[in-house]
Amino acid sequence: MEPVVALVVAAGSGSRLGGDIPKALRELDGRPLVSHSLEGLAAGGVDVAVIVIAPGLDDDFAAVVAGSPIPARCVQGGAERQDSVLNGLAAIAADPDLAGARYVLVHDAARALVPGEVVRRVIAALADGAVAAIPVLPVVDTIREVTATGSATVDRSRLRAVQTPQGFARDVLERAHRLVADEGLQVTDDAAAVEALGYPVALVPGDREALKVTEPLDLLFAEAIVRSHA
């Protein structure tokens, strides 16, 4: 059976979170955010992780790799997020043990508390034939769109907030990112890159606990979630 591979994007500096430590290495309950992410991915059925990190941080991530619940290795990221994903995909293709993997899950290390059940839903959607599958949540806030004459309320019943991991047929994701790179397209996530090729994206239920740690308040929320499970 071919492995399910997770590409964990951990190259962000975390400037909005503050401090001198890269965001993925900021501690939550005594362990780096990326370590929590690896646990959630492993619990959901991921077999191997490729962690994309900023240049020069291999030694900083060595303990993360050593303590990972699944085999993991680090590769160097690029200038932009989509460059980092391309580098990670190239590393998977070059590894004889991973080159046969049909599916790849792209996960933001900052979504440290992703439940294993969310990961399983994404993998199940791919196994059922989806080319792309992403976890989403209903939007609970009232949303207004700024217009030329002021602003207007948006129908939130049709909106969904997107989380990770986002799962893909690996060959499609590779082609999508090559298209994005060749045409200089700017996409906000990997699902948008696949949509640029004309493929549909399947939606699966996400989870409120899979919040993205971006600012100090998010870290406080994440700490409260960890304490609630203690």
In the prediction, which pLDDT does 14 show? 67
Q: Which two tokens stand for residue 8?
A: 């964990």
Mean pLDDT of 193-207: 96
Number of domains observed in the structure of the chain: 1
pLDDT band at 1 (very low <50, low <70, confident <90, very high): low
The structure's pTM equals 0.95
- Enclosing H/E stretch for 55: none
For 97-150, what is each residue's pLDDT tens digit? Answer: 998 999 999 999 999 999 999 999 999 999 999 999 999 999 999 999 999 999
Which residue range forms the structural domain that includes residue 180? 5-228
For 57-109, what is each residue's pLDDT tens digit? Answer: 999 999 999 999 999 999 999 888 888 999 999 999 999 999 899 999 999 99
Q: What is 162-220 written as a DSSP string?
A: E-S-EEEEHHHHHHHHHHHHHHT---SSHHHHHHHTT---EEEE--TT-----SHHHHH
CATH of the domain at 187: 3.90.550.10
Q: Which of 12, 33, 60 is nearest to 114 (CA)?
A: 33
CA distance 146 to 78: 33
Residue reference for tokens 């492995």: 3
